[in-house]
Amino acid sequence: MRAWTERRKKWVRMAAVIGAVLVFLYVVRAVYTFTFYKASVWFPSYLASLFASQETVADARKHVVFLMVDHYEPGRDEEAEARSERWLVRFRAIAERHHDSYGNRFRYSWFYPYDEHREQVLAGLCLAAAEGYGEVELHWHHPRSDSQRFPAMLDDAIRWFQHHDALVSAGPNPRTQFGFIHGVWALDDSQPRCGVRRELDILFQHGCYADFTFSTIGTVSQPRKINSIYYATDSDAPKSYDTGEDVTVGKPIEDRLMIFEGPIGLNWITWRLDYAAVEAWARPTPGRILRWIGANIHVQGRPEWVFVKVYSHGIQSQDVILDHDLDGMLRSLEEICRARGITLHYVTAREAYNLVKAAEAGKSGNPEDFRDYRVPKPATSTLLQRRASAASGL
């Protein structure tokens, strides 16, 4: 009996040591993650959101609006055109296999960087857009500038894109329209490499309908406000988008830039951060998809329309995007939505913005009715028709 008691004490001590080691490793992992990935920028907001009451609806009433934005960077070298064309050929095959609840093919949003400036790359993207595979928007790692010089720089960028029918609406009265992703996340001088303190206002005044840069980790550029779609009021201070006013049903705002965020959160068991990146180092899984939906990003007062925005660097992560994971991610998303009775909508960045504005205006019901609610289809949508007319001499 005494021997049994001694053995039990030994086991208890051993279990206590193992438990202490596990707790220590957990704390080390937490501190490393918190520090290295600069989670202190946004984690307090995330923690507060866990205890705040949220608008939610049953899955049977829920519409998931899914968009994928790509920092599409095939490069500046002579191989960029061939690299991009190979990517697009393989992407088309994947997109053809996936459709949402209304039969819409999966559509992409290519944010092409003006600083790469390859005519044939942009022409290839615009052709894919004309074929209905997505839409082209503006990405830019612009050189350090200021609020006085940047407007002219932006004019030059827009003019170059519009030469290929991008960043401009279709129809007899074309107007400039574009979504934006800032290079290296440095929007509104949130990092010294930007320098433009009034960047939000300048973008908005030049036809930008929304910024799609965030969410992300590992940088001070990530806003404190998370898992939101909101309006940011610009100022002469850097990072004016750090906070803002939620887009809300019945409270239209028309005088400032919308910040359209993707989900960000934490797996408490592994202390792994999830910021909706689909990359070689952040492969999509069914568990991650459930967390993206669970972030519950929506227009305040319209909780049945849940927006899930993920992003990638599709060229750099092409093994993930093109080999297995994009196909698998879309298949898992479709299966999850079917199993839970959720209605799925595949949209572009422009269409997602239109749905947000429709919700803000009090529209409800089927999001399919509002894909072109505010910002019309881009000129690329009529490119093939115009080419055919020109070829026939009409």
Domain ranges of the chain: 2-36, 57-391
Instruction: Tell which residue, 1, 130, 215, has the closest CA to residue 122.
Output: 130
Q: Output the pLDDT for position 9.
A: 66
Rg of the chain over all Cα atoms, to the nearest angstrom: 23
Q: How confident is the model at residue 21 (pLDDT cuts 50, 70, 90)?
A: low
Assess whether pLDDT exceeds 90 at residue 36: no
Q: How confident is the model at residue 7 (pLDDT cuts 50, 70, 90)?
A: low
Q: Output the pLDDT for position 35.
A: 77
Rounded to two decimals, the pTM is 0.94
Through-space distance between the first and last CA atoms of the chain, rounded to whole angstroms: 102
CB atoms within 10 A of CB 102: 12
Give the tens place of pLDDT for each residue, 229-271. 999 999 999 999 999 999 999 999 999 999 999 999 988 777 7
Mean pLDDT of 22-47: 76
7-16, 170-179, 315-324 — which is least confidently predicted?
A: 7-16
147-151, 187-191, 354-358, 387-391 — which is least confidently predicted?
A: 387-391
Token pair for 125 = 């993207």
> Residue 228 region, left (φ>0) first, then alpha (ψ -120 to 50), else beta?
beta
Q: H or E stretch including 126? A: helix 119-130
Instruction: Tell which residue, 296, 271, 290, has the closest CA to residue 336.
Output: 290
Assess whether pLDDT exceeds 90 at residue 154: yes
Token pair for 52 = 């705040």
Give the tens place of pLDDT for each residue, 288-309. 999 999 999 999 999 999 999 9
3-state secondary structure of 139: strand
Strands 229-232 and 257-260: antiparallel
Assess whether pLDDT exceeds 90 at residue 375: yes
Q: How confident is the model at residue 25 (pLDDT cuts 50, 70, 90)?
A: low
Instruction: Tell which residue, 292, 297, 299, has the closest CA to residue 373.
Output: 299
Assess whether pLDDT exceeds 90 at residue 339: yes
Q: How confident is the model at residue 384 (pLDDT cuts 50, 70, 90)?
A: confident
How many percent of the chain have pLDDT more than 90? Answer: 79
Strands 245-246 and 229-232: antiparallel
More confident: 218 or 196:
196
Mean pLDDT of the chain: 93
Q: Output the pLDDT for position 385.
A: 87
Q: Do 150 and 142 touch, CB atoms closer than 8 A?
A: yes
Q: How confident is the model at residue 386 (pLDDT cuts 50, 70, 90)?
A: confident
- The secondary structure of 195-260 as a DSSP string is --TTHHHHHHHTTEEEE-----SSSTTS-SS-S-EEEE---SSS-GGGS-EE-BTT----SSEEEE
Residue 120 and residue 82: Cα distance in Å, rounded?
A: 9
DSSP state of 70: E
Q: Do 307 and 65 touch, CB atoms closer than 8 A?
A: yes
Assess whether pLDDT exceeds 60 at residue 211: yes
3-state secondary structure of 312: strand
Q: Output the pLDDT for position 367.
A: 99
Give the tens place of pLDDT for each residue, 160-174. 999 999 999 998 899
More confident: 297 or 6:
297
Q: Output the pLDDT for position 1.
A: 57
Q: How confident is the model at residue 113 (pLDDT cuts 50, 70, 90)?
A: very high
Residue 343 and residue 60: Cα distance in Å, rounded?
A: 8
Residue 339 and residue 210: Cα distance in Å, rounded?
A: 33
Domain 57-391, architecture per CATH:
Alpha-Beta Barrel (3.20)
Assess whether pLDDT exceeds 80 at residue 362: yes
Mean pLDDT of 178-198: 98
Q: How confident is the model at residue 394 (pLDDT cuts 50, 70, 90)?
A: low
